[in-house]
């Protein structure tokens, strides 16, 4: 049996990969091959494929047979091309080893540089480079990286030695350490290595290489990598590829440098070359945010010809990839090398602008543009910004690393941010710089503020990927992590102080700053119009005030899919009327209390129908258990008692009587209307009267009545009849003669409703899937309690995603599909939609499209997401 | 179009019905026809079919066209046969109108007698009978019954007039009123009638008849009839038939009489003619319990030839019907007439004895015998009786109307009995006599005690039908309903006093009397052995103590289908260990606390495995949320704090932390084992150690491990692996070398588990449907809260039955069927069972049979019910 090819070469001699081979070669490897093919200056090397990583991990950590032979063979080609030998004592070929999966995961994977250096080769490098300090520095970096990343010796142990040697030599900066200092440091590092691993630092180049390759394979399954994939919902990958590539050095002196760049502005999408560079530095120095780099435009003053070359490369790349690229480059003694290109991460607004601009530029089609914008990212366009007129107490200004507006109390560690966010606090994560260990905390925080690092630092890249607000490199801020305070301009802020950051300006402000709704760009409008042309799903909104309805309409809502009525009973005086109704002991008293609520309820509906005129408004009848409306503490009960002129004991008794062990599964939804028909009658009367009054005022009100929590066909049968009689009676009483068609439908949110949908459909004009409750009951998860175990479930990969955020297609989805099929058997043309929070989740929308629903309904801010998601579901 | 035939004649001229036509003619009508056919002395008449009732009610209360013409036609045949004319002034033919549905509903339907009497006809009857008093009495009965039953004039208004007239004439008993008294009474009744209806009592016989027929049709839908059908789970009937039959009179003098009888003893099943009669009385007098009748044997001293004739009829009927019969008869001036025969209601023990005896007598087959005993009735054979040695403080003795032993606080009205039973009290319903209005209260009470009425009074018949303990006709008891006390032998008992009744002896005793388990009859053993031969479903038990296991085994359990482990942690000291575990803050501390619980848990299992040796024992791992084990009140928390040496605040904090909004849908079941694997490990270790220790002692322990609340296949995957490693580790540590196969399976009790059963089956050796939780989640009903609305649902016929008592086949059953099919796709031979309370419900067992399950599991006392139910599911 022939062993499969595992190593793929790229270089002048031959190039075996291409950008289509991402699955196998990872993004980085595929693009190194692609760039080589199209003639860009890429240092030669080879890629070990992702299959090998999968095999390695499957076999429990054994390198696939023959792999190292293939590696040596390919290294031979590199050696021939470059004219150096790997780790040779005279003029060593050095290589880097980098991971690269099919999907980019910035900072999550480990890199080892300068492989091939040994005690002897370092002197060869010193000779040939004419820069012994550089060679020694490269060697100490290797020992440190290899010890830390490959062998698991703690980085801080190396750092401690560095500090010790620097102080011994009386210097402060790393770069100030001279050759003999570096010699000492290398010895010290070797001791650290020996202590940490029990063996000497390997002097055999291929042993260094083999161990590094293994380390990359292993890093695929370290917790932070797993966690990153979870947060970003990355699944289905084999593993990571390993890229072995000739080293080029940006730190060979003042004629060398390194940088990163985007072919367009990743923050705004402007078509302008955008990046940073550091002179005399290695790539890691830029990304890690240790030194703050210069904007790439400033390269004109340093090496104009290289800047020109970069602009040319920008064009070549965009023409070739038809996508905005994120590149890494190094200038070694005046020669430019490209080390990486990949699709650039960008903010939501940038994604929209780039996609639409590329259509205008003729690079891509409208359909492609629709797929270029992750639907969820549209959220960012709708996030509030700070109001221009708001007072800003500006403390300092950092880099506008990821747009948005965030306010929160200061949090100084990732763990703290996670805990406090979980406890419901809004926090701002403040770090000198962030690292992959911080991702959970960054995810939990409202925003991220760092005091060092640039636009392409870890914090900035990760935050932009999520659309989370970030201000980076705010160097005037002094962070005292131990004392948990920051000091800036002589002012001190602690854990309970609120600070605001503006990710679009870089401003850092004291206190909470007033926010405002965002303005929508032209490009956004174009993209949405394309989405509307392609999608077949209607998009409605969940709204229960005229204001929300109007906002949703502005965002493109085509009706209200869920107008909850319970919120209407909590406002001001209304709650008193509601409580009076609940405390009533006879139907008569209940009716009297309800009669008082009727006018306000009617006015609410009029407002909503008016805001939505010409579009359907699905009103859900009262859903929550009655005890939610009663006060539970003594004082409030006493106040209510006085107000209603009854004894506090009576109120306490009623509260106790209404208490339920599992209110979620209790006396709520349509069950209330079965026992208290007068509640339904009041609500239906209010809806009908509102509709009549609107129509008389020439407002095209289109109410629909939705009966919640139906589980038995007869429930809907009876309640529908009751609602129909109430509508007819109300119209008669109002002397309204015109046709008043008010469709009556039901939520499908109880598993039994889905299972018996064929019979329920006999009494329903429409089905609306309440996937929140359906998820609760299908899984047996109380949404209020699920945090006791769901995080464990996600961590242990029992569940890929939180089923309350993204619809569980295997279980809940199965019920939805059954109900759609059953409902359509009874009534072929029945209108069906979804009104759980899944209605605004693109993956769930795709499911809805496949399941054959007619519409999704989501919160106003998710409307554009849903419109785009619906279009993508079709275009895909 | 020919109108359908609606009226069916029975008599000497022709007989158009037969006993097979119950659906159409009702039980009474079909049997009147059948008895006529086989030559028994039945007064001629005709039956209007149930279809006409359905049509009447469907058309909103209009008699079907042509019906009355058909009635007149048939009446003509009766007239010819009898030689009298209906309502004629000289010698009137009088008829009765009685309802009769396909299923017997004693006392629930209305009857009108003596139809055809008018002001003139009554004098004709007086002349021809030579007994004017009798004729007048018949007339006043007609006016009363017709007014009350047909026209809705309140019975008490007639009663009041009767009392007035009696006192005017200075008499006490009805029978003491002379002719002129009766004349006055008739006038008074006519006034009552006129006031109540606004019209005169009709003097046109056919008008009387027509209105009476309508009244019977209407009575099908009165609430008490609907309620009776619900309690008795009677569905699918068209309506009631109407029987119009020539009147015969048991009250024509001392040579007349009336009675009821059973062909065997309905209480014990003994093959002995069993009944009662009253001289000079109408049938209603016996059933209503107003006069206490004589045992039928005493007829020998009154009319020996009629007694002989009755015994002969007993044989004819049993030979013909091959079933125990319940007959009504009347003797008019020395001539015997049969007015009804029907299958006799009987107690559970009687049902078993009669069925088995009839097999012995060669009347029926074993299979028929299996179908003759309602499986649920076997419960009665297993009900405790009073211990013979128990002290009995006997107050008085009544009739042993329905066997059993009951104790409870006295309740004086049906409403009170319902309310207090609902509140959890055990009550004894005490009434002078019961009426159909009392059925709800009778159903709720532990037992029924009446001070008048015989063995065939309303109370006795209804109680026997349900297998509920009843002592009737305890005449020494004086009931003061207003004061809510009874007085007997100078002693007084009130609402809070406990009284016991023995339904087999008729004894009424003060206080609670000690009960004992029942002895099983030979016939029971025979019937069970036939059931075991026919059934294919295995029957296991739900038991979690060696005592319960042993009892269940005695009743025929073939293993334990559900051994709950949580109960094991509540006993005595164990709860302290459990609480210590829950309060532990580290895994280490939790393991330490669990280690203390391990030995007791192991001993529990050893006891159960020993009791069940040779049979499988399915142990369910810990299921309830942890907070159920913690004390919730301050004092208990303080005690626990002292006990464990921690602060009460800490305990309070942990209780608060563990509190859940919906514990039913919270952190419980296998979710506990995901977050606290050490709990699973302890339990599996205990099971394994117990199994090993049993086997070493030559006890064939057959444990199975059941993982509860699985909703995701990976849950089972992970937990199964953990359990398997624990079993292997324990066996190694114990040095046990033999094969130790412990099947590992799961509950299917979360809808998602049923929906994804195909994948879950990959990791399961068996499925056990936990239909209690599955019902909760499929309906979205919290069992703890469902009483807030479920009674309304049953009352309003939204649900036919309580889905927690009898499995909902449309919804929950659909999930079960899907899961069975899906599970078998993965593992064709997978063992599947049910362990919810439905496992002991015959209708649910029939479903389980159809669904292809392998076993049902139920509480020990339901085992015989399940065995018989399983056999019936096959034989049917």
- Chain A residue closest in CA terms to B711: A779
Nearest CB among B667, B752, B796 relative to A779 is that of B752
Contact state of B785 with A814 under an 8 Å Cβ cutoff: no
Nearest CB among B674, B778, B782 relative to A796 is that of B674
Residues 757-816 of A with CB under 8 A from B: 759, 773, 776-782, 784-785, 788-789, 792-793, 796-799, 808, 810-812, 814-815
What value of ipTM does the predicted structure carry?
A: 0.80
CB pairs under 8 A between A and B: 171
Chain A residues with CB-CB distance to B792 below 8 A: 674-675
Average pLDDT over residues A615-631: 93
At residue A2, the pLDDT reads: 60
Average pLDDT over residues A671-697: 96
Q: Tell whether the model's pLDDT for residue A437 goes beyond 60.
A: yes
Q: With b meaning 16 or more CB within 10 Å and e meaning fewer, what string describes B772-794?
A: ebbbbbbbbbbbebbebbbebbb
Each residue of A105-152: pLDDT tens digit? Answer: 755 567 899 999 999 999 999 999 999 999 999 999 999 999 998 998
Token pair for A343: 């699709």
Average pLDDT over residues B253-269: 93
At residue B400, the pLDDT reads: 85
Chain B residues with CB-CB distance to A777 below 8 A: 665, 751, 777-778, 780
Chain B residues with CB-CB distance to A799 below 8 A: 712, 714
Nearest CB among A712, A780, A814 relative to B755 is that of A814
Average pLDDT over residues A348-362: 95
Cα→Cα distances A619→A623, A667, A709, Å: 11, 20, 14
What confidence category does residue A393 fall into, taking pLDDT thresholds of 50, 70 and 90?
A: very high
Q: Tell whether the model's pLDDT for residue B765 goes beyond 80.
A: yes
pLDDT above 90 as % of chain A: 70
At residue B225, the pLDDT reads: 81
Q: How far is B573 from chain A (nearest CA, A)?
A: 28
Chain A residues with CB-CB distance to B758 below 8 A: none
Q: How far is B791 from chain A (nearest CA, A)?
A: 10
Contact state of A785 with B755 under an 8 Å Cβ cutoff: no
Token pair for B422: 């609902």
Query: A interface mutation test: which of B628, B659, B662, B795 has the most A CBs within 10 A?
Result: B662
Residues 670-689 of A with CB under 8 A from B: 671, 674-675
Task: Give, for A74, the enclosing helix (H) or strand (E).
Answer: helix A67-82
Contact state of A751 with B756 under an 8 Å Cβ cutoff: no
Task: Note the Cα B658 to chain centre separation in Å.
Answer: 41
Q: How far is A665 from chain B (nearest CA, A)?
A: 5
CB-CB neighbours of A743 under 10 Å: 15
Contact B684, B727 (CB under 8 A): yes
- The full length of chain A comes to 876
Query: How far apart are alpha carbons A483 and A814 in whole angstroms?
Result: 53
Query: B interface mutation test: which of A721, A774, A785 has the most B CBs within 10 A?
Result: A785
Average pLDDT over residues B424-437: 87
Chain A residues with CB-CB distance to B663 below 8 A: 661-662, 782, 785
Q: How far is A785 from chain B (nearest CA, A)?
A: 6
Average pLDDT over residues B605-624: 97
At residue A434, the pLDDT reads: 85
At residue B459, the pLDDT reads: 87
pLDDT above 70 as % of chain A: 98
User: Terminal CA-to-CA distance of chain A, rounded, Å?
Assistant: 39
Query: How far apart are alpha carbons A369 and A569 in whole angstroms?
Result: 45
Q: pTM of this prediction?
A: 0.80
User: Is A835 among the residues known to form the active site?
Assistant: yes
Task: Note the Cα A41 to chain centre separation in Å.
Answer: 34
Q: Tell whether the model's pLDDT for residue B832 goes beyond 80.
A: yes
Query: How far apart are alpha carbons A354 and A377 in whole angstroms?
Result: 13
Average pLDDT over residues A243-265: 94
At residue B290, the pLDDT reads: 66
The one catalytic residue in A469, A470, A694, A835 is A835
CA angle A349, A352, A353 (to 5 degrees): 85
Each residue of B858-869: pLDDT tens digit? Answer: 988 889 999 999
Contact A528, A558 (CB under 8 A): no
Q: How far is B637 from chain A (nearest CA, A)?
A: 21
Query: How far apart are alpha carbons A872 and A856 in whole angstroms?
Result: 14
The one catalytic residue in B8, B53, B443, B458 is B458
Query: How far apart are alpha carbons A504 and A518 in whole angstroms?
Result: 12
Chain B residues with CB-CB distance to A810 below 8 A: 752, 755-756, 759
Report DSSP state, residue A616: E
Average pLDDT over residues B412-439: 88
Extended beta strands in B187-309, E state: 240-246, 257-262, 274-279, 294-295
Contact state of B785 with A715 under an 8 Å Cβ cutoff: no
At residue B725, the pLDDT reads: 96
Query: How far apart are alpha carbons B627 and B662 in whole angstroms?
Result: 12
- Chain A residue closest in CA terms to B775: A752
Contact state of A784 with B671 under an 8 Å Cβ cutoff: no
Average pLDDT over residues A682-692: 97
Contact A510, A393 (CB under 8 A): yes
Task: Note the Cα B651 to chain centre separation in Å.
Answer: 46
- The full length of chain B comes to 876
Query: B interface mutation test: which of A717, A755, A779 has the most B CBs within 10 A?
Result: A755
Query: B interface mutation test: which of A422, A623, A625, A665 has the most B CBs within 10 A?
Result: A665
Contact state of A752 with B776 under an 8 Å Cβ cutoff: no
Task: Note the Cα B58 to chain centre separation in Å.
Answer: 30
Identify the residue whose tokens are 């200075």.
B170
Query: How far apart are alpha carbons B698 and A316 in whole angstroms?
Result: 82
- Chain B residue closest in CA terms to A773: B780
User: Is B838 among the residues known to form the active site?
Assistant: no
Nearest CB among B667, B715, B811 relative to A755 is that of B811
Query: A interface mutation test: which of B712, B747, B752, B817 has the most A CBs within 10 A?
Result: B752
Contact state of A752 with B779 under an 8 Å Cβ cutoff: yes
Nearest CB among B750, B782, B811 relative to A662 is that of B782
Q: Tell whether the model's pLDDT for residue A83 goes beyond 90.
A: yes
Q: How far is B688 from chain A (nearest CA, A)?
A: 27
**Helices (DSSP H) in B390-503: which residue ranges?**
414-422, 439-444, 458-466
Span of A436-445, B10-19, B340-349 with lowest mean pLDDT: A436-445
Average pLDDT over residues B385-389: 84
**Mean pLDDT computed over every residue of chain B:** 92
Extended beta strands in B446-591, E state: 447-450, 469-472, 478-480, 485-488, 491-494, 498-502, 507-510, 515-516, 538-542, 560-564
Q: Which residue has the higher pLDDT, B464 or B239?
A: B239
The verdict on B656 touching A (C-beta cutoff 8 Å) is no
Q: How far is A217 from chain B (nearest CA, A)?
A: 25
Query: A interface mutation test: which of B780, B781, B784 has the most A CBs within 10 A?
Result: B780
What confidence category does residue A279 fall into, taking pLDDT thresholds of 50, 70 and 90?
A: very high
Q: Tell whether the model's pLDDT for residue A467 goes beyond 60.
A: yes
Q: DSSP string of A9-51? A: EESSS-B---GGGHHHHHHHHHHHHHHHHTT-----EEEE-HH
Contact state of B780 with A709 under an 8 Å Cβ cutoff: yes
Contact state of A797 with B714 under an 8 Å Cβ cutoff: yes
Q: Which residue has the higher pLDDT, A381 or A92?
A: A92
At residue A635, the pLDDT reads: 87
Helix (H, G, I), strand (E, B) or coil at A246: strand
Contact A870, A849 (CB under 8 A): yes
Cα→Cα distances A628→A568, A625, A673, Å: 13, 6, 16
Q: Tell whether the model's pLDDT for residue A577 goes beyond 90.
A: no
Q: Tell whether the model's pLDDT for residue B451 goes beyond 80.
A: yes
The one catalytic residue in A8, A458, A763, A838 is A458
At residue B438, the pLDDT reads: 84
At residue B750, the pLDDT reads: 98
Chain A residues with CB-CB distance to B750 below 8 A: 778-780
Report DSSP state, residue A297: G
The one catalytic residue in B469, B835, B848, B858 is B835
Q: Tell whether the model's pLDDT for residue B1 goes beyond 60.
A: no
pLDDT above 90 as % of chain B: 71
């Amino acid at each position: 049996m022939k062993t499969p090819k595992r190593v793929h070469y790229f270089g002048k001699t031959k190039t075996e990969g291409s950008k289509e081979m991402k699955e196998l070669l990872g993004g980085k490897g595929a693009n190194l091959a692609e760039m080589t093919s199209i003639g860009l200056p890429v240092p030669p090397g080879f890629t070990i494929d992702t299959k090998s990583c999968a095999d390695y991990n499957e076999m429990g950590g054994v390198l696939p047979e023959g792999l190292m032979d293939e590696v040596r063979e390919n290294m031979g080609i590199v050696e021939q091309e470059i004219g150096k030998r790997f780790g040779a004592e005279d003029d060593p070929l050095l290589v880097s080893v980098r991971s690269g999966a099919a999907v980019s995961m910035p900072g999550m994977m480990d890199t080892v540089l300068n492989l091939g250096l040994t005690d002897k080769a370092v002197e060869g490098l010193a000779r040939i480079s004419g820069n012994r300090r550089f060679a020694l520095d490269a060697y100490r970096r290797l020992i440190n990286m290899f010890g830390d990343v490959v062998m698991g010796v703690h980085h801080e142990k190396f750092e401690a030695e560095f500090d010790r040697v620097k102080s011994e030599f009386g210097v402060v900066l790393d770069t100030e350490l001279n050759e003999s200092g570096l010699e000492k440091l290398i010895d010290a590092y070797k001791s650290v290595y020996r202590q940490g691993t029990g063996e000497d630092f390997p002097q055999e180049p291929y042993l260094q290489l083999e161990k590094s390759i293994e380390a990359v394979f292993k890093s695929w399954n370290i917790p932070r990598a797993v966690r990153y994939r979870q947060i970003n919902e990355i699944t289905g990958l084999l593993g990571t590829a390993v890229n072995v590539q000739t080293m080029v050095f940006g730190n060979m002196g003042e004629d060398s440098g390194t940088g990163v760049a985007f072919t367009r502005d990743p923050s705004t999408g402007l078509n302008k070359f955008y990046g940073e560079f550091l002179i005399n530095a290695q790539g890691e120095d830029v990304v890690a945010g240790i030194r703050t780099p210069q904007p790439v435009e400033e390269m004109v003053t340093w090496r104009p010809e290289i800047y020109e070359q970069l602009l040319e490369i920008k064009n070549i790349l965009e023409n070739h990839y038809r996508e905005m690229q994120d590149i890494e480059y190094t200038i070694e003694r005046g020669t430019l090398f490209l080390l990486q290109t990949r699709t650039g991460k960008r903010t939501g607004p940038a994604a929209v602008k780039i996609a639409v601009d590329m259509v205008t530029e003729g690079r891509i089609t409208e359909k492609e543009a629709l797929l270029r914008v992750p639907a969820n990212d549209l959220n960012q366009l709708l996030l509030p910004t700070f109001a221009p007129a708001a007072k800003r107490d500006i403390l300092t200004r950092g880099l506008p690393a990821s747009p948005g507006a965030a306010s929160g109390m200061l949090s100084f560690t990732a763990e703290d941010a996670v805990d406090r966010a979980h406890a419901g606090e809004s926090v701002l994560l403040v770090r000198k710089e962030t690292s992959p260990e911080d991702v959970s905390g960054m995810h939990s925080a409202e925003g991220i503020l760092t005091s060092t690092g640039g636009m392409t630092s870890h914090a900035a890249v990760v935050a932009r990927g999520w659309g989370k607000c970030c201000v980076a490199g705010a160097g005037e801020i002094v962070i005292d992590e131990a004392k948990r305070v920051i000091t800036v301009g002589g002012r001190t802020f602690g854990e309970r102080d609120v600070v605001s950051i503006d990710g679009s300006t870089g401003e850092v402000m004291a206190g909470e700053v007033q926010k405002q709704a965002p303005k929508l760009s032209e490009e956004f409008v174009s993209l949405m119009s394309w989405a509307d042309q392609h999608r077949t799903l209607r998009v409605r909104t969940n709204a229960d005030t005229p204001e929300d309805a109007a906002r949703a309409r502005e965002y493109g809502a085509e009706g209200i899919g869920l107008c909850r009525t319970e919120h209407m009973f909590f406002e001001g005086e209304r709650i008193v009327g509601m409580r009076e109704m609940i405390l009533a002991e006879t139907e008569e008293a209940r009716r009297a209390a309800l009669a008082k609520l009727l006018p306000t309820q009617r006015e609410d509906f009029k407002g909503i129908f008016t805001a939505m005129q010409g579009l359907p408004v699905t009103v859900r009848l009262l859903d929550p258990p009655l005890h939610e409306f009663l006060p539970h503490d003594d004082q409030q009960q006493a106040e209510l008692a006085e107000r209603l002129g009854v004894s506090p004991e009576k109120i306490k008794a009623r509260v106790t009587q209404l208490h339920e062990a599992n209110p979620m599964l209790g006396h709520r939804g349509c069950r209330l209307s079965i026992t208290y028909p007068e509640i339904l009658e009041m609500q239906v009367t209010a809806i009908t009267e509102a509709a009549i009054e609107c129509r008389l005022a020439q407002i095209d009100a289109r109410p629909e009545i939705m009966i919640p929590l139906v589980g038995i066909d007869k429930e809907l049968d009876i309640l529908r009849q009751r609602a129909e009689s109430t509508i007819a009676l109300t119209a008669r009483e109002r002397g309204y003669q015109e046709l008043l068609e008010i469709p009556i439908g039901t939520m499908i949110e109880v598993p039994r409703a889905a299972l018996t949908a064929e019979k329920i459909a006999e009494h329903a004009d429409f089905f609306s899937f309440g996937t929140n409750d359906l998820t609760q009951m299908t899984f047996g998860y109380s949404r209020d309690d699920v945090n006791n175990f769901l995080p464990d479930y996600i961590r242990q990969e029992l569940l890929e995603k939180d089923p309350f955020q993204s619809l569980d297609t295997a279980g809940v989805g199965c019920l939805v599909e059954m109900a759609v099929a059953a409902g359509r058997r009874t009534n072929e043309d029945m209108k069906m939609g979804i009104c759980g929070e899944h209605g605004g989740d693109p993956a769930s929308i795709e499911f809805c499209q496949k399941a054959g629903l007619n519409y999704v309904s989501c919160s106003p801010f998710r409307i554009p997401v849903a419109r785009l998601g619906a279009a993508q579901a079709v275009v895909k």
